[in-house]
Amino acid sequence: MDRCCLGRRIGQPPILRRLVCHVREERAIGYDLGFWKETRDSGVAPSAVYWSLINGHSVDGVETLPIESILSELIAALPGSVRASLASGLEWIDWDSDDGLSSIQIWWSDVHVYVDCRSVSYEILNRIIEVLAGFGCPLYDPQEDKRFDARRTE
C-alpha cells in the first residue's frame, strides 16, 4: 500500500518541504508528527496551528510545555538517541536504528514537539506518541490533517 506523506530535507527549515511517498513493510517512510497542548479549543484548525508552530509563530491557547521532562522521556523511549546542538542554539534529538535503516529527528520549542521519522516502525512511532500523550499532547498527523484529541469535535 502506498500513501503520500511529507518529509523534511536535512538542513532546510520545515517550510521548504518535498514529498516523500510510501508505507512499506510496517514502516512509515518519511513521516512527520506534531504535538502541542491546548489550554482551550481556540477554534483554529489543527493544520493552521501546526504550520504556525513549526514556523516559529505563537498561537493563542497553546500551553507552555515541561520540555526538559518531555525530552528526557523521549530519550529514554529511544535507546541510543543523542541530543545535539549547534553554537547558534539550535537543538534536536537524533535517533538511528541499530541496523541503520531507520532514523528520527526531534525538534521542539517551549510549546510544541515536531518529529521527523524516516523508515521507522509503527512500534517506535507509538513509543513517541505515548510519551507525548502522557504530557497531554495528542498527536497531530499532518499527512492525514488529523489531530487525535478527544476534546476537539471536528
Instruction: Check: CB of residue 138 under 8 Å from CB of residue 147.
Output: yes
In the structure, how many helices (H) and strands (E) does the chain have? 3, 12
* Rounded-to-integer distance, Cα 28 and Cα 23, Å: 5
pLDDT value, residue 150: 65
> H helices within the chain, ranges in order?
46-54, 67-77, 122-133
pLDDT mean by block of 10 residues, the chain; 154 residues: 32 34 53 92 89 93 96 97 92 93 95 95 93 96 89 52
Phi and psi angles of residue 53, each rounded to the nearest 5 degrees, phi first: -65, -45
State the CB neighbour count (10 A cutoff) for residue 80: 10
Q: What is the dihedral of CA 94, 95, 99, 102, to 10 degrees?
A: -90
Burial class (CB in 10 A: 0-12, 13-18, 19+), 90: exposed
Confidence (pTM): 0.79
pLDDT value, residue 15: 33
Domains within the chain, CATH numbers bracketed = 4-147 (3.30.160.110)
